[in-house]
Amino acid sequence: MNPMEEVIISKVTLNIGVGEAGEQLVKAENLLRNMTGQNPIRTFSKVTNPEFGIRKNQPIACKVTLRREKADKAIKMVLEGIGNKLRAKQFDAQGNVSFGIHEHIDIPGMRYDPDIGIFGLNLSITFEKPGYRIKRRKIQRRKVPSKHMVTREETMKFMQDKFQVKIEG
């Protein structure tokens, strides 16, 4: 196989949406810090929604981006919490996969801490092939050709081979 056609994990994003600023958001940040060993950043609301009591530019969630070995470790950890099963609809057309876990205590090795509470979290995995740098570089930036894009099927095969994931319907 051509090494330029090999699918690799670009990044993994762990996200906890709290819906409000304050003590809950700080607890969610502490949880992500304990899980990953990295400092999370806050994400802010884009619109005002009075029904949920959210104002524009109010911090409502936190996320952490992992790459390389930390990314692999996080994927394995969260997949064990959901029984190494994913649904086909969790893979998008660009070959990325996103899934969530209802309670972080379902992850093996995570204990319930009364100071933090229980949070659900979302995990998004972004895949790419070598050569995607042309999309991000400063000089002579180009589009990635369609024949070099990661497909849904390639991502499914990668997840089955590397993480022994069972893909259902």
Q: How confident is the model at residue 110 (pLDDT cuts 50, 70, 90)?
A: confident
Helical H segments across 122-163, by residue range:
152-163
121 C-beta neighbours (distance < 10 Å), count: 23
Helix 152-163 and helix 68-81, axial crossing angle in degrees, nearest 10: 80
Q: Which residues contact 41 (CB under 8 A, 6 or more apart)?
A: 62, 63, 64
Mean pLDDT of the chain: 87
User: By mean pLDDT, which of 30-34, 38-42, 48-52, 140-144 is the weakest?
Assistant: 48-52
Six-digit token string for 82: 């959901």
Q: SS3 of 26, please?
A: helix
Q: What is the DSSP string of 29-75?
A: HHHHHHHHSS--EEEE-SS-BTTTTB-TT-EEEEEEEE-HHHHHHHH
Q: How confident is the model at residue 124 (pLDDT cuts 50, 70, 90)?
A: very high
Is the pLDDT confidence value at 20 over 80? no
pTM more than 0.75:
yes
Architecture of the domain whose range is 3-168: 2-Layer Sandwich (3.30)
Phi, then psi, of 111 in degrees rounded to 5: -110, 155
Share of the chain above pLDDT 90, in %: 27
Is the pLDDT confidence value at 141 over 90? yes
